[in-house]
Amino acid sequence: MEIIIRPTAESAADLVARVIADELRAKPDLVLGLATGKTMEAVYANLVRMHRLEGIDFSRCRTFNLDEYVGLPGSDRNSYRHYMNHNLFLNVNVDLKNTHLPDGAAADIEAECRHYEQLIAQCDGIDLQLLGIGLSGHLGFNEPVSSFRSRTRVKVLSPVTLAQNGKFFPTPEQMPRHAITMGMGTILDSRRCLFLATGAEKAEIVAKALEGPVTSMIPATALQFHPRCTVVIDEAAAGLLKEADYYRWIFANDLQWKAYRGNGELPHRNGHAHNGVPAGQAIARS
Ligand code: GLP
């Protein structure tokens, strides 16, 4: 896991969008896993801007979203299909036929979940999976005690999630109690994970997810097992991390991030990180 702390929510979202754009440039038919939520709106706004100004090309890209509410057709303005169409898909040159979300209005929900896994497999799996985190510690809608080996299925939404997302519905009662979500196993199978969290409200759950013991009570802790997970957070969300200086030092010295750092970030002043690794020494990523 590599943990990158950016000064503001804007700069964190900007870095995430640049990573996605670079992956798209390197592999134009990228299989891109997408996420929803307020946090991601800035990422999608950046991607739309990069598409317009820099010609970032989505024409061959395939996308798979993490989740969708059960009972909401794509035409419902609270559906994640509606969110994706309006925040990203209709504003870039992606082929809508290549954009996938679970169908929350499917007559046979279990068949829909199996079908979604098959579609991902037919695309040879997800190259890059964008992830946010809910206050319950969920990824997608994998709520506490989700199995780390789970596949796409229906989950009951937790009271914490109902409280967090209910405010986006006309009345909280209108928020569905169930969602189809990629499983933790589906997410962990993706070749790279790109996690974004911003704001002080997320500081406690971010600290538990990144530094706490691995537990299905906080499904995001499973990312500690992923072989290539890039975590991007702002200072506010990093507020309760014990080892923030160590993460800053790695980011400041890791050559792969050179182009992303800008001028303001020099290697750690005293040449030693928290763990005593000398500045400039290669750090293995995990
Ligand atoms: C929803 C999504 C999650 C997302 C979360 C964060 O619950 N199912 O995938 O991580 O929202 O939302 P926000 O960015 O609004 O905090």
Q: Cα–Cα distance between 218 and 65 in angstroms, integer? A: 21
User: Are the C-beta atoms of 72 and 102 separated by less than 8 Å?
Assistant: no
Architecture of domain 2-126+137-189+198-205: 3-Layer(aba) Sandwich (3.40)
DSSP bridge partners of 194: 130, 230
Distance of CA 245 to the CA centre of its chain: 23
Average pLDDT over residues 19-45: 98
What span, in angstroms and rounded, lies between the C-alpha atoms of 277 and 69?
Answer: 46
**Coil, helix or strand at residue 180:** strand
pLDDT tens, position by position, 37-78: 999 999 999 999 999 999 999 999 999 999 999 999 999 999
Condensed to tens digits (0 to 9), the pLDDT of residues 98-126 reads 999 999 999 999 999 999 999 999 999 99
In a 13 Å sphere around the CA of 186, the CA atoms on its Cβ side amount to 29
Asked if 108 contacts 114 with a C-beta cutoff of 8 angstroms, the reply is no
Tokens representing 14 are 């900007």
Which residue's CA is minimally distant from atom 8 of ligand 1? 140
CA atoms within 13 A on the CB side of 202: 24
Report how far ligand 1's centroid is from the alpha carbon of 36 (Å): 6
Predicted confidence at residue 261, as pLDDT, reads 86
Contact between 162 and 178 under an 8 Å Cβ cutoff? The reply is no
pLDDT (0 to 100) of residue 245: 98
> For residues 241 and 218, what is the distance between their CA atoms, to the nearest angstrom?
16
- Residue-averaged pLDDT of the chain: 93
Question: Is residue 17 within 8 Å of 52, Cβ to Cβ?
Answer: no
More confident residue, 266 or 163: 163
Q: pLDDT tens across 144-170, in order?
A: 999 999 999 999 999 999 999 999 999
Per-residue CA distances from 14 to 19, 21, 34, 90, 232 (Å): 9, 10, 16, 20, 10
The length of the chain, given as a count of residues: 286
Helix axes 9-26, 38-54, angle to 10 degrees: 50
**133 CB near ligand 1 (under 6 Å):** yes
Name the residue ranges covered by the structural domains of the chain: 2-126+137-189+198-205
Ligand 1 contact, 206 CB (< 6 A): no
Mutate to test the pocket of ligand 1, among 83, 131, 165, 202 (most ligand atoms within 8 A of CB): 165
End-to-end CA distance of the chain: give it in Å, rounded.
5
- How far, in Å, CA of 56 to CA of 32, rounded? 14
In this prediction, residue 86 carries a pLDDT of: 98
Contact 223, 195 (CB under 8 A): yes
Write the CA distances from 143 to 67, 84, 198, integer angstroms: 12, 22, 20
Nearest CA to ligand 1 atom 5: 134
